[in-house]
Chains A and B, each alone.
Chain A
Amino acid sequence: MQSNDSAPTSTLRLVVAWSIAGIPLLGGVAQTLVNAMKLFQ
């Protein structure tokens, strides 16, 4: 069973979690944007 102890989430943990999800996504978006620019050439 879950205990009622407090376990505050640190800012570092939030930054790491968002980086793990966000960095690959941003990389994919950037790569797609580069390809999409061909529409305007």
Chain B
Amino acid sequence: MTTIDRRNEYAKSMIPFLDRERTIAKPGYSRWLVPPAALCVHLCIGQAYAFSVFNLPMTRLIGVSQSAPDDWKLTELGWIFSIAMVFLGVSAAVFGRWVEEGGPRKAMFTAAICWASGFLISALGVKLHNLWLIYLGYGVIGGCALGIGYISPVSTLMKWFPDRPGMATGMAIMGFGGGALIASPLSVWLMSKFQTATDVGVLWSFITLGCVYFLFMMFGALTVRVPAPGWKPEGYVPPATASKLITKNDVFVYQAIKTPQFWLIWTVLFVNTTAGIGVLGQASAMSQEMFPGRITPVAAAGLVGLMSLFNMGGRFSWASLSDYIGRKNTYFCYMVLGFILYIAVPYAGGSGNVVLFVICFLIIVSMYGGGFSTVPAYLRDMFGTRYVGAIHGILLTAWSAAGIAGPVLINYIREYNLAHGVPKAQAYNVTMYIMAGLLVIGFIANLCVRAVDKRHHMVSEAEPSRGLDLPGGAQAAPAQA
């Protein structure tokens, strides 16, 4: 059995309907059906950012009106989200190649099953008051749904939109940012509907969300298609003068992680995410402490809402812009503009300029979102489309690492400053300068990104014309043994 045969067998599922070869689009299929399919998945898994709305009600599952001694503590509940985020990174890295070879429908279907199961197992955990079931349900199984669902449509979208890969992935990843905007009010509304004198309403909210999300994600799985071999958008002519930073070759997933380019882009994403996540999580407290009496808790909540909109909008707009100015230049924008804005935040605080402060935060958070949505296209430019989903999955470990580094930097430096007598209004200044310094590292890393050396490129194992028509698309092997 050849390598191709083995990979083809590997890619085939027990349910043939889910196989990649069954999702090849017939002539006349509109590529504009793929972004809503991808959005349906990302909008559902984006709920993760709104999970905190369940935390307080889950501290009153027994006491209902107030926490009873046997009720769970907030610190225990905080682990649910953390476990889910860890499994997002792990599953994206581990299952990335399977997602790429199995095709988007199989991955979306798996994500839908895991996401719905996660909610249903968590509902059982609520019913039995067993927190470990929720850790397993939402944390582990739901976390795997996050990882698989997040990367599932990425390479498919780039194959459908070779003319606008940034815009295409930006649309999908925008959904991940937008999911919380839907889930937060929906969850609060569901809990209010299911609430009784003896129940806080979490149990049936979980069951309802699990069912609704499953239907939405299945719509995405049923709608998505992969382009037929050799398909090109009507009127699309690949650029005659090839850019040095946009390869026409493919790099095998495990070969890609041996290249300096992968780790340079990993560093760029890590730095951009660390800087953004730090302010995103602390924006409410930071704004109130930097402008005491001027930014009230209600206004701070408004700022957080506005930031989520810019986070979402940045994912689409920055990634779309990258199609015109190039991926490397877009990251230069993030790093240079980010550096200026982080330096400007302490100035805005010192001079009492609320407008400047708000503008800085909104642009920073838009670039945080933009960093996520631009990176798949950056990887595609460097490593080709063949394994971009799998490479993207491994790159998401930068997100997990930044998820720890960002809040730790902000919180611990603030605590240190307060303990050493720094006024609250200035407690974040050092952190802002450190974030600006991190962006300098990101700038240098981005500057060092060059085209991938030819020795890393894949050599075709099959006839070049067969290309994507091989089930699992496994047509090539790394140039190096």
Interface residues of chain A, those whose CB is within 8 Å of chain B, are 1-9, 13-14, 17-18, 20-22, 24-25, 27-29, 31-33, 35-41
How far is A9 from B28 in the complex, measured between Cα atoms in Å? 6
Give the number of residue pairs across the A-B interface with Cβ within 8 Å: 101
A29 proximity list for chain B (CB < 8 A): 178, 181, 309, 312
Q: Can you identify 25 A-B contacts, CB atoms within 8 angstroms?
A: A2-B21, A2-B22, A2-B228, A6-B26, A7-B26, A13-B33, A14-B30, A18-B36, A20-B40, A20-B216, A20-B219, A21-B39, A21-B40, A21-B43, A21-B175, A22-B36, A24-B182, A28-B183, A29-B181, A36-B302, A36-B305, A36-B306, A38-B302, A39-B302, A41-B302
Additional A-B contacts beyond A5-B26, A40-B302 (4; CB < 8 A): A2-B228, A21-B175, A38-B298, A39-B303
Selected from B21, B27, B33, B312, the residue in CB contact (under 8 A) with A4 is B27
B40/A32 in contact, CB under 8 A: no
Q: How far is the CB of B125 from chain A (nearest CB, A)?
A: 27
Interface residues of chain B, those whose CB is within 8 Å of chain A, are 21-22, 24, 26-30, 32-33, 35-37, 39-40, 43, 175, 178, 180-185, 216, 219, 223, 228, 298-303, 305-306, 308-309, 312, 358
How far is A27 from B186 in the complex, measured between Cα atoms in Å? 10
Q: How far is the CB of B167 from chain A (nearest CB, A)?
A: 15
How far is A9 from B35 in the complex, measured between Cα atoms in Å? 14
A6 proximity list for chain B (CB < 8 A): 26-28
B43/A38 in contact, CB under 8 A: no
B182 proximity list for chain A (CB < 8 A): 24-25, 27-28
- Known A-B contacts A6-B26, A25-B43; A32 and B36 likewise in contact (beta carbons under 8 Å): no
B21/A21 in contact, CB under 8 A: no
A5 proximity list for chain B (CB < 8 A): 26-27
B37 proximity list for chain A (CB < 8 A): 17
B21/A41 in contact, CB under 8 A: no
A24/B299 in contact, CB under 8 A: no
Instruction: Pick the most buried of A27, A29, A38: most chain B CB atoms within 10 A of its CB.
Output: A38
How far is A17 from B33 in the complex, measured between Cα atoms in Å? 7
How far is A17 from B29 in the complex, measured between Cα atoms in Å? 13
B33/A9 in contact, CB under 8 A: yes
A31/B185 in contact, CB under 8 A: yes
Q: How far is the CB of A33 from chain B (nearest CB, A)?
A: 7
- Closest A-B pairs by Cβ, 4 of them: A39-B302, A28-B181, A8-B28, A38-B302
Q: How far is the CB of A11 from chain B (nearest CB, A)?
A: 9
How far is A37 from B181 in the complex, measured between Cα atoms in Å? 15
B299/A38 in contact, CB under 8 A: yes
A36 proximity list for chain B (CB < 8 A): 302-303, 305-306, 309
Which of chain A's residues has its CB closest to B300's CB? Answer: A39
How far is A17 from B305 in the complex, measured between Cα atoms in Å? 27
Q: How far is the CB of B49 from chain A (nearest CB, A)?
A: 12
How far is A6 from B228 in the complex, measured between Cα atoms in Å? 12
B175 proximity list for chain A (CB < 8 A): 21, 25
A14 proximity list for chain B (CB < 8 A): 30, 32-33
B185/A4 in contact, CB under 8 A: no
A21 proximity list for chain B (CB < 8 A): 35-36, 39-40, 43, 175
A17/B303 in contact, CB under 8 A: no
How far is A39 from B22 in the complex, measured between Cα atoms in Å? 50
Which of chain A's residues has its CB closest to B308's CB? Answer: A32
B28 proximity list for chain A (CB < 8 A): 6-9
B30 proximity list for chain A (CB < 8 A): 9, 14
Which of chain A's residues has its CB closest to B182's CB? Answer: A28
A13 proximity list for chain B (CB < 8 A): 33
A7 proximity list for chain B (CB < 8 A): 26-29
Selected from B22, B29, B40, the residue in CB contact (under 8 A) with A9 is B29
A28 proximity list for chain B (CB < 8 A): 178, 180-185
Instruction: Pick the most buried of A4, A14, A36: most chain B CB atoms within 10 A of its CB.
Output: A36
